[in-house]
Amino acid sequence: MIRRQQIEPELGRGLARKVTTTPTSPKRSDIIRYLHTRLDEDTNPDKMDGSLEADILKKIPGDISAM
């Protein structure tokens, strides 16, 4: 349901049973595809130049994969 381990005990109490977790992480290609989609939906595309978009597409996937 969620990736926040600190909430797991609360879920168990709320569901009145043990909660099983499965660790997941997105693929880098999924993150980049998501970012492209969000950038394409930008309501002010003239505010962003090519270098800013390139920085976003480089930095965010790198930060997420480091988590």
Inside any domain, residue 40: yes
What is the span of the domain harbouring residue 52?
A: 25-67
User: Going residue by residue through the chain (67 aa), what tens digit of pLDDT does each one get?
Assistant: 556 666 767 776 767 666 677 777 788 899 999 999 999 999 988 888 889 999 999 999 888 766 6
Q: Work out how many domains the chain is built from and give that number.
A: 1
Model confidence, pTM: 0.59
Inside any domain, residue 32: yes
The alpha carbon of 63 is separated from its chain's Cα centroid by a whole number of angstroms, namely: 10
User: φ, ψ for residue 4 (rounded to 5)?
Assistant: -90, 105
Inside any domain, residue 63: yes
